[in-house]
Amino acid sequence: SASDQAGPAARKLMTEHGVAAAQVTGTGKGGRITKADVEKTISDKEEKR
Amino acid sequence: MADKYDVIVIGGGPGGYVAAIRCAQLGFNTACIEKRINKQDEPALGGTCLNVGCIPSKALLDSSWKYHEAQSSLADHGIKLGDVSLDLDTMHKRKDTIVRNLTGGIAQLFKANKVTWLQGSGQLKSGKQVEFSALEGDAQTLQAEHIILAAGSVPVEIPPTPVDQKIIVDSTGALDLPEVPKRLGVIGAGVIGLELGSVWARLGSEVVVLEAVDTFLPTVDQQIAKDAKKQFSKQGMDIRLGARVTGSEMKKNQVVVNFTDKDGDQQETFDRLIVAVGRRPYTEGLLSQDAGVSLDERNFVYVDNQCRTDVPGVYAIGDLVRGPALAHKAIEEGVMVAEVIAGEHTQVNYDAVPGVIYTHPEVAWVGKTEEEVKESGDAYKTGAVPFAANGRAMAAGETGGMVKFVADEKTDRILGMHVVGPQASELIQQGVVAMEFGATIEDLQLMVFGHPSLSETVHEAALAVDYKAIHVAQRRRKK
């Protein structure tokens, strides 16, 4: 689940933007997803549109 | 006794004994050389920390605090005790028992892990050889694939106040004063000076702390340091900054200390004087001329990020090398080196090593201070919340102090956490965990904190960074 890969702030952002943990490349320790990783995924998605 | 080992560790302090145990766990035939003889005239493991440092000082800090509470604050709770008196001998005996149990425990752990404890001193020679001089018996040469130097540190002595361990004592002597001095001088307002000064102040000494530097706790966040100084002063510790000791003179059973401060030459007379100006790496007799290990300009053994010295297969850890002289720093370096020897890629995260001063209130910190971040030029934000707004702190009658966060303005990442107040030593670990996971301030804001608890002040401080604290009035500053 997303909760064991990312902290609360990143989870919140994923929920907000409908991003699944599987879509995000985690750059934190052991592939953990940081808030910045989620932000990058969101901006990449928006660029593609 | 075999004369060949996979790993030989020189020094059985927190760094050395942990390294030895971890090496044994990883399957290495390991020996640990330790020469310390304790107060009971027995060989003892545990080094400075267990024998004459962390543990005995905490035992006295806790005992003296209980005495102080019984005298001063239990009445506030409606508890009347009548006359409270001090039995210093019992206090010392309790401390000594704790130390003996703990050091004995390490000997048991060595047995359980099959670490060979070589009682005596060790000197590193060339070609990964160690000359071992037993406490009893002859010297012999040992050979090892890997050698870990963990000889620790000793108190720094200064010429104006030579230590005699009677009237003028170092930290070791200060743990064993046979009676409470009427007037106690402490040279050095660092961690050791403040803790030992606190112990004797609570037991009744009139304590004067002389500190050469003008800034109080210069490496601590200054908002926290200022608050701490105010609280210590209220407890009767007379802390004089910018006071340089120039000389001393024995007069009967007292010592007259001369010093200069901004007002010129000064003089104070003390019944005892504690010299606590710092500690230096203990390299005497550790290295033979041809050992090949180099020292840096401050006499620390020179090592890389993973504690390798210039000689392949020889490592150095703990107070002997750069970085803060803290038991937990030495411990983690010991574990790292053992795992590096086993071919693993362990690293110590030196950016998240907590520091603690076990005064009352405690002072604790991790990461960068506001001053450090300001100097780096990066945009940052801070939030600080007092324990006075915390219900649990009020219930305990411990409302002094605060929690403060420093965070990156752009990324929201936590850069530092700073605490002065009750249980700061425990609360700070929340900052360590958060920083290790690269947490943002928002991460902490979004977590549920048990109520009522001191930890809620951590939560509120995180909220305060973004002007969202609930239990303190916060007005957003106009930019």
CA A40, CA A47: separation in Å to the nearest integer?
10
Q: Are A35 and B438 in contact (CB under 8 A)?
A: no
> DSSP 3-state assignment of B272?
strand
Q: Nearest by CB to A32, which of B437, B440, B447?
A: B437
Radius of gyration, CA atoms only, chain A: 10
Give contacts of A35 with chain B, Cβ < 8 Å: 411-412, 440, 442-443
In angstroms, the Cα distances linking B402 to B230, B392, B423 are 13, 14, 11
Minimum distance, in Å, between the CA of residue A48 and any CA atom of chain B: 24
Question: For the stretch A10-20, what's the b/e string if a residue is b when 16 or more beta carbons lie within 10 angstroms of its beta carbon?
Answer: bbbbbeeeebe
pLDDT confidence of residue B438: 86
The pLDDT value recorded for residue B63 is: 98
CA distance B346 to chain A (A): 13
pLDDT, tens digit, 9 for 90 and up, residues A14-30? 988 999 999 999 988 77
Q: Is B237:B207 a contact under the CB 8 Å cutoff?
A: yes
Residue A3 pLDDT > 60, yes or no? Answer: no
Low-confidence ranges of chain B (pLDDT < 50): 1-2
> How far apart, in whole angstroms, are the C-alpha atoms of residue B4 and residue B370?
51
Edge-to-edge strand list for the sheet holding B380-386: B355-357, B362-367, B414-421, B402-408, B380-386
Contact residues, chain A, for B443 at CB < 8 Å: 7-9, 35
**Annotation marks residue B451 as catalytic:** yes
Angle between helix axes A35-48 and A8-17 (nearest 10 degrees) is 20
pLDDT bracket for residue A31 (50, 70, 90): confident
Does B440 sit within 8 Å of A35, measured CB to CB? yes
Omega before B452 within 30 of 0, i.e. cis: yes
Closest in B411, B443, B446 to A36, CB measured: B411
Structure tokens given for B372: 């450090």
Q: Does A9 sit within 8 Å of B442, measured CB to CB?
A: yes
Asked whether the ipTM of the predicted complex exceeds the cut of 0.90, the reply is: no
Q: How far is it, in rounded angstroms, from Cα B400 to Cα B390?
A: 10
Q: Write down the number of H helices and E strands in chain B.
A: 13, 21
- Give residue B1's pLDDT: 46
Collect all residues with Cβ–Cβ distance below 8 Å to B112 and sequence separation of at least 6.
none
Of A8, A32, A34, the CB nearest to B446: A8
